[in-house]
Amino acid sequence: MSRVTVNNFSISLDGFGAGPRQDLNNPLGVRGLELHSWLFKTETFKKMTGTNGGTAGVDNDFAAQAFENVGAWIIGRNMFSPIRGPWPDDSWKGWWGDNPPFHAPVFVLTHYSRPALTMEGGTTFRFVTDGPAMALERAKEAAKDKEVRIGGGVSVVRQYLTSNLIDEMHLAISPVLLGDGEHLFGGLDLPKLGFVPTRTVPGDGALHVIIRRT
């Protein structure tokens, strides 16, 4: 049975997983990129984006783990695109260029159907209109014995949390205060959902915390 996990999910000190007012110039909302400063410096991220260099160490180790043993991904439409409402056409192919970093099937939650989109490097975006439970069922089938990774954004993670479908989360707590945006845990009782912290590791740019559902 595939485990369902969240990895490299960056949040601010005040609990926001994205900034407000996402648009083409602010894919993670205003100031949202600041949450991921720790990631952008790593060797893993540099390699992912086709450049050289980057830092080794704890942050890089966690960054690399996010792409290990992944058989399928689930993401929300907002993570795939800034477009709202019906798709005007099939020209938007994501934020990541011709070779996205997923290298596996990616199931995109949306209210509007669209044909599957095959990219370079083994990534295929499949657009799921019949809800998170069906997306997870299809992702588990595609993943076989590997993990299903919930990539985000905040609302998608919260949906799977409240449905008790996430087994483990890796949170990267960045030394940033956003003050506004999408709050990850607001109104959620994580102990009641069965989560306990199992590991805490300080990195150079973030504090890495693992929580697991018992």
Give the three-class secondary structure for 125.
strand
Task: Report the pLDDT value the prediction gives residue 176, as an integer from 0 to 100.
Answer: 97
**pLDDT at residue 142 is higher than 80:** yes
Task: Please state the domain extents for the chain.
Answer: 4-85+99-213
4-85+99-213, CATH topology level: Dihydrofolate Reductase, subunit A (3.40.430)
Residue 111 has pLDDT above 90, yes or no: yes
Tell me: the pLDDT tens digits for 143-161? 999 999 999 999 999 999 9
pLDDT classification of 24: cutoffs 50, 70, 90: confident
Which runs of consecutive H residues, i.e. helices, occur in the chain?
A: 37-40, 43-48, 58-65, 77-80, 132-143, 154-162
Q: What is the DSSP letter of 90?
A: S
The Cα 61–Cα 49 span in angstroms is 17
Task: Spell out a b/e string for 61-87, using b for 16 or more CB atoms within 10 Å of the CB, else e.
Answer: ebbbbbbeebbbbbbbbbbbbebeeeb
Span 51-105, pLDDT tens digits: 999 999 999 999 999 999 999 999 999 999 999 999 999 999 999 999 999 999 9
Q: What's the pLDDT at 172?
A: 98
Whether 1 shows a pLDDT value over 80: the answer reads no
Percent of the chain with pLDDT strictly greater than 70? 100
pLDDT category of residue 214 using cuts at 50, 70 and 90: very high
Residues 171, 201: contact at Cβ < 8 Å? no
CB 108 within 8 A of CB 120: no
Q: What's the pLDDT band for 49 if we cut at 50, 70, 90?
A: confident
In 12-137, which ranges are E strands? 16-18, 70-76, 105-109, 117-118, 124-128
pTM: 0.95
Model confidence band, residue 189 (pLDDT cutoffs 50, 70, 90): very high
